[in-house]
Amino acid sequence: MESSSVGGGEMSGHLDGDGASRRLMTLVMRYKKKKKKKKKKKKKKKKKKKKKKKKKKKKKGFISALTAVSVESDEPLACLVSMSCAMTSLASFISTVSRSYFSTSSWFSLRSSTTSWLSSSLCFPQCAFSRSISESVSSMRFTKPSSLSWDISEKFLFTF
């Protein structure tokens, strides 16, 4: 009887459906499940953080590299920028030359308009490239329409 009351009482509790033991078992099972869920959630959060870090990295482009370099100290870069500025406004200059090619009255004003165009279009006049263009244009002769093609081919092509 003593053995049945010591050991049998615990066994009878499980078998009879004792409420305290069932509650204890359910609490233990819930605790184990919560631990597993927490571990799974932590792993998922770590993966999401890694993905966000990859998105934050940006590659440096050509524009940021240009802004990082000081244009005033580097003369080849300054020449490149001034050349691009000159090429953007070259279309308007060609249209002016083509309009004034056949009219003899505008030949005298073409030289002054050319020098003013060069001074306004070239961004960096201290550059050797822009100085050579402005010198070649100022030395051009705009007196006869037939000499225009020879002067342009002689002065401009050899400066490039």
Per-residue pLDDT of 88-116, as tens digits, reads: 566 566 666 666 555 555 555 555 556 55
The answer to whether 18 touches 8, Cβ cutoff 8 Å, is: no
Question: What's the average model confidence in pLDDT over 130-158?
Answer: 50
User: Would the pLDDT of 158 be above 80?
Assistant: no
Residue 102 gets which letter from DSSP?
A: S
- Provide the pLDDT confidence category of residue 144 given band limits of 50, 70 and 90: very low
The answer to whether 130 touches 86, Cβ cutoff 8 Å, is: yes
The answer to whether 22 touches 13, Cβ cutoff 8 Å, is: no
Spell out the residues 6+ positions from residue 77 whose beta carbon is closer than 8 angstroms to its own.
66, 69, 71
Higher pLDDT, 19 or 139: 19
The answer to whether 101 touches 152, Cβ cutoff 8 Å, is: no
pTM as predicted: 0.17
- Provide the pLDDT confidence category of residue 40 given band limits of 50, 70 and 90: low
Q: What is the pLDDT of residue 70?
A: 42
The number of C-alpha atoms within 13 Å of 126 and in the hemisphere containing its C-beta is 8
Q: What percent of the chain has pLDDT over 70?
A: 10
User: Would the pLDDT of 45 be above 80?
Assistant: no
**What torsion, rounded to 10 degrees, do the Cα atoms 145, 90, 115, 139 define?**
-50
Q: What is the pLDDT of residue 34?
A: 75
Spell out the residues 6+ positions from residue 142 whose beta carbon is closer than 8 angstroms to its own.
107, 108, 110, 111, 148, 151
